Each structure stands twice: as structure tokens, then as C-alpha cells.
A and B are shown apart, each in its own frame.
Chain A
């Protein structure tokens, strides 16, 4: 296998990393607008490093929910990464320290890039190159977005506080290509709104999570 700058695997990795870095700008902006510090925002991108969970954590806090409700939602959203890990383990065959590092890079994008390849060496190159490139640009984008927003007198004037639902929608849309997920999404939205007046902030999300897990487990 040829490894050079013209290798299409590396080109794809860089392309997806640039797109992800751009969306990290919006994460940095939304997080600081939600009231997290620049350091907290950057620590999230460094150590949580899974986009939907990060947006959920800062989104719940920005909406007045407790940080623990945000943490629970973030972890539940991250559960899909365990399934990605199962699919990647046989491709990566990584042990020891390499596995500890590989685990950190198990996200939507690296999984998609790795499983799309024909051979194990190509899968591994795709996984590591995509993971490293995204990690670098995701954290850089977060820092720039956070610094720029921190410099604004009032980020609400630019509507940044209204931006999280748009971000969640962009993350949700690719998962709605069949009738069942669409029905689940609508039902989940309705259940959350019905519960909202009666339970502490953030709890409607956990109620929705319990219901969807029960539905998934008892369904034929």
C-alpha cells in the first residue's frame, strides 16, 4: 500500500477533518454562550471528543438544566460509540497502549471511514489518519470558536443561544432516512414537551431515553 500525500485515504481524512473543524467553531461558540469557560470548553473537546455528546452537555446547561442532567444525556448519546468499537476492534487489532489511544478516536467519522475500506491495512490507515486529523482540527476549531465568542460583548445578539437546536437537527437529519426513526423522533419530541412542565430541567431527556430503550428491547 502506498502512503503519500496523494493517497485518497489521507485526502479523505483531511477533507472530513476540515469540515469537522469548521463545525467545532460552532461548538466553541455555543459552549461559551451557554456559560462554560474557555478552558472547560477546550477540555470537553480534548477529553469527551464526541460531537453530539458535547453539544448535548453544553445545550442542557445553556437551557438552565443541571450539569448532571447534561452529563447523563452526554453519556447516553455516547452509547453508540460502543457499537462502533465492536465493529472496529476486529479491523484495528490494537492492544495495550494503542488500544487506549484508539478508543479515544472511536467516533462517527472514523468508523465510517474505516469500515468503508476493502482491506485491514487500508481500514487502519483510514481510522488513524481520520482520527488524528479530526482530533487536531476539532480542538483547534473549538479554541478559535470559544476565544472569538468570549471576545464578543454579548453572544446572544448574534443568536448563538438559539443555535443548539439547529446543531442537534444537523446531527439528527442523517439518522432519519427510514420511517421508524422518523416516528421515534417525533414521539420523543412530544413526550419530552409533555413531561417538561412537571419535572426538573434535563429530566425529560432521561424519561425519553428510558422509554426508547424499553421500546427497543421489547419490540420484535
Chain B
């Protein structure tokens, strides 16, 4: 139940943000500080997501197959592989290491 409520609330929030952008008078979001700050959010959040989901289990910091999966995904990114290939390379690395 909680998952559904959070899912619908998050979807509504994401839509409201989009609608605000196309609806609000231009001056609301034209402030230079807001224009500079908002693009930093995805950078910081994606980096934090990568770090926490690669190097932790619950509340413990760990180093396991996921670190190798991330390294292989990074190589795929540097080689300009398409999105799906990057994800598949990461998943396959973790799967192979767990078989060893």
C-alpha cells in the first residue's frame, strides 16, 4: 500500500513540476541562482545513488561484485556504448562474479 501511495504521489509531483515549468510566468524560474542550482541536483543525486547502491548493504559499507559491475559499466560509458549495453555490462559482470 505504501509503495502505491508513494508511487502515485511521486508521479503527481513529477507532473506538477513539469506543468509549473510550462505554466509559471517566465520570471519565476529566470532567477540566475535558480537557473544555476537546479542543474546541479541531478549531478549530485545520481552520484549519491551510484555510491550508496554500489558500496552499501543496509547500513554497512561493503565492497563486493557490484563495485566490479560499476567499473565495467564505467568502461562501457567511456567507450560511448549505448545505454542498454552499459546496463547489461554491469549486470553481466555482477552475475559472472557471483558464479565464481
Contacts and interface: CB of A to CB of B under 8 A. Distances in A.
Interface residues of B, number: 75
A50 B7 CA distance: 13
Interface of A is mostly: helix
Interface string A9-30: 0000000000100110110001
B84 interface: yes
Interface string A89-122: 1101010000110111010000000000000000
A80 B41 contact: yes
A196 B7 contact: no
Contact of B95 (A49, A158, A184, A215): A158
Contacts of B84: 22-23, 25-26
B6 interface: yes
Contacts, number: 310
Given A67-B6, A74-B10, A173 B48 contact: no
Interface string A159-182: 111111111111111011000010
A82 B77 CA distance: 28
Contact of B45 (A76, A99, A166): A76
Contact of A204 (B37, B48, B76): B48
Given A23-B83, A70-B6, A191 B48 contact: yes
Interface size class of A (residues with CB under 8 A): 35 or more
Interface in B1-31: 2-15, 17-24, 26, 29-30
Interface in A48-90: 48-50, 52-53, 56-57, 59-64, 66-68, 70-86, 88-90
A148 interface: no
Given A83-B39, A102-B22, A215-B40, A75 B45 contact: no
B11 A185 contact: no
Point out which of A67, A159, A172, A190 has the most chain B C-beta atoms below 10 A from its C-beta.
A159
A71 B10 contact: yes
Contacts of A86: 21-22, 24, 26, 29-30
A71 B69 CA distance: 26
Interface of A: 19, 22-23, 25-26, 30, 36, 40, 43-44, 47-50, 52-53, 56-57, 59-64, 66-68, 70-86, 88-90, 92, 94, 99-100, 102-104, 106, 157-173, 175-176, 181, 184-193, 196-198, 201, 204-205, 208-209, 211-213, 215-217, 219
14 contacts: A36-B3, A57-B10, A63-B52, A71-B9, A74-B14, A81-B14, A92-B22, A159-B94, A187-B44, A193-B51, A196-B59, A196-B61, A212-B41, A219-B36
Given A167-B83, A169-B74, 5 more contacts: A77-B42, A79-B17, A83-B35, A213-B41, A216-B38
